[in-house]
Amino acid sequence: MEEFYCDSNCSTKKIATEMLKSESKMLQCLVRLFCENLAPDIAAVQDPVKKAEITKKIVCAYAFKESAMSKLVDVLRKFDELDESNCYNLE
């Protein structure tokens, strides 16, 4: 994954764009992981209770990741509302 560097001239829009690109790549990896690896493994589990527990853990982990992403987007929105001239000239 390529690294993103943002200096004081970087816009909030650029940061948001890079965050969304990263989120898209992560989602593609998660889909591949689930469809190619986890789904067949879950299907092989015979015990329906165990199968439900595994599925619940995966769904909860994904929900936790989405909640964290939501918090990042909210912070970015609040940052955008700041008067950036004051933010970058603090010395």
What tens digit of pLDDT does each residue of 30-89 get? 888 888 888 899 999 999 999 999 999 988 988 888 888 888 778 777 766 665 555 554
User: What does the alpha-carbon distance between residue 77 and residue 4 come to, in Å, rounded to a whole number?
Assistant: 19
Instruction: Give pTM, 2 decimals.
Output: 0.58
User: What does the alpha-carbon distance between residue 73 and residue 12 come to, in Å, rounded to a whole number?
Assistant: 11
DSSP 82: S
Return the structure tokens found at 10. 């970087």
**How far apart, in Å, are the Cα atoms of 21 and each of 37, 48, 63, 87?**
24, 37, 19, 26
The domain spans of the chain are: 14-80
Return the structure tokens found at 31. 């889909």
For residue 5, pLDDT over 80 is answered with no
